[in-house]
Structure 1
Amino acid sequence: MTTPEQLDERYGRTRRRRAPWIIAGIVAILLVGGYGWGIVAQSMNQVDADDLGYTLVDEHSVDVRFQITGVQGKDVVCIVEALDEEFGVVGWKVVEIPAGDSHAQALAATIPTVAEATTGLVNTCWVA
């Protein structure tokens, strides 16, 4: 007499194992969770800088006004540049901003230049 197990094996009806699918599901959940946490952690330390304007003081300096947003209670460092007509850097300065209690801070920096500048702007900012 033929047993049900022999019939299942003969006709390709085998019992599926659930353990590999459960393990794969757990690994997928951990990967998605880790990726999500990485995005959240990165955005918590993100600094946005907006140029508010500039004033050409003379041929050897430029005043740059800018605003930073996104961090509270952490020191921030920004690179502020002065550019000439051909967008070449003619002066730059590292501006260290102490931790503040507000979400946004308006700042100004005077950039010394080696040639006459036509504009001033914030290149980048980061949490120190």
Structure 2
Amino acid sequence: MTTATELDERYGRTRRRRLPWIIAGAIALVVVGAFAWMTVAQSMSSVDADDLGFDLVDEHAVDVRFQVTGVQGKDVVCVLEALDEEFGVVGWKVVELPATDRHSQTRSERIPTVAEATTGLVNTCWVA
């Protein structure tokens, strides 16, 4: 006479091991959690800079107005550029903005140039 265990093995009704599935699920959960945390951490320290305008002072300087929006309570560093009519860099300046408790701040900075500029803009900003 055949036993219940033999019938289960013959017709594929054996108990499947759950441990590999549990381990794979745990690994997947850790990977998804790490990815989510990196995304949130990066967005918390992101800085947005918007050009508000520029004024050509003379052939050796341009004033750039810009707004920085992002983190509160941390120093921010921005790189400003002055470009000529062929989009060549004729001047640049690194500006350090001190930490404030406001969400955004508007600034105006003068960039010295080596030739006449036709525009001034913010290249990039980051948390210092």
TM-score with structure 1 setting the length: 0.96
Match of 1:6? Answer: 6
**Any idea what SS the aligned residue of 2:39 has?**
helix
Once the two structures are TM-superposed, the CA of residue 22 in structure 1 deviates from its matched residue by 1.5
Q: State the alpha-carbon separation in 2 of the partners of residues 40 and 12 from structure 1.
A: 46
In 1, Cα distance between equivalents of 2:12 and 2:21: 20
The total of aligned residue pairs comes to: 128
Instruction: Name the amino acid aligned to 1:85.
Output: E
In the aligned structure 2, how far is the partner of 1:106 from the partner of 1:84? 24
Which residue in the other structure is 1:93 paired with? 93
The whole-number CA distance in structure 2 between the counterparts of 1:44 and 1:12 is 52
Please list every run of 5 or more consecutive structure 2 residues that lacks an aligned counterpart in the other structure.
none
For structure 1, which segment, 4-13 or 109-118, has the greater mean C-alpha deviation from structure 2 after superposition? 4-13
Residue of structure 1 equivalent to 2:24: 24
CA distance in 2, matches of 1:90, 1:5: 84
2:102 is the alignment partner of 1:108: no
RMSD (CA atoms): 0.9
* Corresponding residue for residue 37 of structure 2: 37
> Aligned pair 1:68/2:57, yes or no?
no
Q: Which amino acid aligns with 2:35?
A: Y
TM-score by length of 2: 0.96
Alpha-carbon distance, 1:29 to partner: 1.4
1:42-57 aligned within 5 A = 42-57=42-57
Task: Identify unmatched segments of 5+ residues in structure 1.
Answer: none
- Larger deviation: 109-118 or 24-33? 24-33
